[in-house]
């Protein structure tokens, strides 16, 4: 599989605290990655305008706000995400089937009425910073792997397009939810990279080989001496993984 195909699957996390820094990174990396992830820090600093700024510079956006509330509230937030023109956004799968299904219906309705592009809607399963011990502390029995698959099945049954999950659970999700279900995988580290606050990590090649569709990478690119070179190295590793699938 070509490097171009791999590049389209790389999502760069714009986890920075200023618009100037975000725009600098978008300018330098727009030709190296497929999407830019905008999370809570940057969105709270700059608001919806930052999505429009990324679009203006030719970038696509994964809006990573992890909506989790009562069904109507999440559905209305999802409508606004659609209107922003994001390529994908997410909700917490633990919000339940009604919350997810209501959001799917609201999204489909607004896309039809206003002739908008339908984003990829993802369910967040278990954060990659959480371990089995962490789950037990919040009252969830069983392993992270079992909980991830349980939530992935629920997300699919609710009409979502896919989930966010670590590379360790990709194979089990694929077996449970089928080949067309989108899997977005954070917690990506090159050999020798610091783990940071991630518990369940994998290399780019291993995550793609396991069956992930998109990889989210932040610090290994952002904190590199040469972010462009780092992004290209990750794309090369992803291309190797695609070639062996």
Closest-CA residue to 159 (of 110, 116, 89, 100): 100
Q: Checking phi first, is residue 83 left (phi over 0); if not, alpha (psi -120 to 50) or beta?
A: alpha
> Is 37 an annotated catalytic residue?
no
Residue 216 β-bridge partners: 11
Closest-CA residue to 109 (of 85, 84, 83, 87): 83
Closest-CA residue to 181 (of 169, 193, 191): 169
* Residues written for the chain: 245
Helix (H) or strand (E) holding 42: helix 40-46
Closest-CA residue to 237 (of 193, 197, 178, 195): 193
Q: How far apart are CA 139 and CA 178, in angstroms?
A: 29
Q: How far apart are CA 48 and CA 84, in angstroms?
A: 8
Q: Tokens 């995550």 correspond to what residue?
A: 207
Residue 46, CA distances (Å) to 25, 51, 52, 98, 188 in order: 15, 9, 11, 31, 26
User: Which residues are known catalytic residues?
Assistant: 66
């Amino acid at each position: 599989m070509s490097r171009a195909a791999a590049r389209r699957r790389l999502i760069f996390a714009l986890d920075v605290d200023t618009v100037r820094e975000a725009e600098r990174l978008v300018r330098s990396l727009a030709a190296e990655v497929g999407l830019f992830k905008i999370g809570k820090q940057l969105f709270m600093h700059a608001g919806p305008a930052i999505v429009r700024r990324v679009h203006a510079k030719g970038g696509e956006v994964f809006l990573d706000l992890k909506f989790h509330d009562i069904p109507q509230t999440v559905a209305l937030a999802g409508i606004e995400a659609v209107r922003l023109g994001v390529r994908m956004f997410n909700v917490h799968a633990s919000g339940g089937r009604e919350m997810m299904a209501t959001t799917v219906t609201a999204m489909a309705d607004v896309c039809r009425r206003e002739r908008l592009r339908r984003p990829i809607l993802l369910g967040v399963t278990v954060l990659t910073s959480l371990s089995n011990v962490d789950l037990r502390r919040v009252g969830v029995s069983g392993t992270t792997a079992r909980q991830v698959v349980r939530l992935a099945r629920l997300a699919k049954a609710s009409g979502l397009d896919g989930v966010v999950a670590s590379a360790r659970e990709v194979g089990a999700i694929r077996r449970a939810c089928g080949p067309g279900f989108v899997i977005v995988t954070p917690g990506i580290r090159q050999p020798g990279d610091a783990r940071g606050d991630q518990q369940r990590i994998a290399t780019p090649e291993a995550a793609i080989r396991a069956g992930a569709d998109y990889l989210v990478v932040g610090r290994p690119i952002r904190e590199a001496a040469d972010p462009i070179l780092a992004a290209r190295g990750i794309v090369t590793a992803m291309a190797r993984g695609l070639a062996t699938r």
